[in-house]
Amino acid sequence: MGNLPIQIPAGFVLVDSGNAATGRYTGGDQIWFYRGKPEKRAGWLKLISTPVSGKARALVAWVNFGGNTNIAIGTNLKLYVILGGADDLNDITPIRDSGMLATDPFAVVDGDATVTVTHTSHGLGVGDFVTFSGATAGGGITVDGEYQVATIPTGDTYHRT
């Protein structure tokens, strides 16, 4: 048997409770009805221009004691916050570990973007993020910055993308 069409009448029922208005729209914000279907009204404005990593799973907004609106955005990869109504996206994903790598931990091949990192007993998983600082470029590849683990050939090495 195929899907049955659902016909919800246009408009909001505001005088009954949600239970009494079963099968009707009981509230909304910035919505209007066009040809009996709900649509967003007047469009949306982009708050920030910086994209987030991953797919947004949750968003929470709150007002701090100073009266500024803060927004937290959780994705499947990272946790971000926008503080005080500014348009700066801050990555606040907790750091699992920090430390030093051994001398010459990076192996590169000219013309290949893959970097093999030797990191004894790293405990990382595919998709985890690593950040390198203080490294020099090699084989035409800049190593400093944040990267995602692509593959894990051994317990002591991984490839970054």
Tens-place pLDDT, residues 65-89: 888 889 999 999 999 999 986 778 9
Token pair of 45 as six digits: 């404005």
Question: What would the pLDDT profile of 96-105 be if each residue is shown by its tens digit?
Answer: 777 788 888 8
pTM of model > 0.75: no
Q: Contacts from 132-135 at CB under 8 Å and sequence distance 24+?
A: 135/106
CA-nearest of 131, 159, 160 to 145 is 131
Domain architecture of the chain: domains with CATH = 1-44 (no CATH), 56-91 (no CATH), 106-160 (2.40.30.20)
Alpha carbons 101 and 117: distance in angstroms, whole number: 9
Q: Which residues pair with 60 in a beta bridge?
A: 72
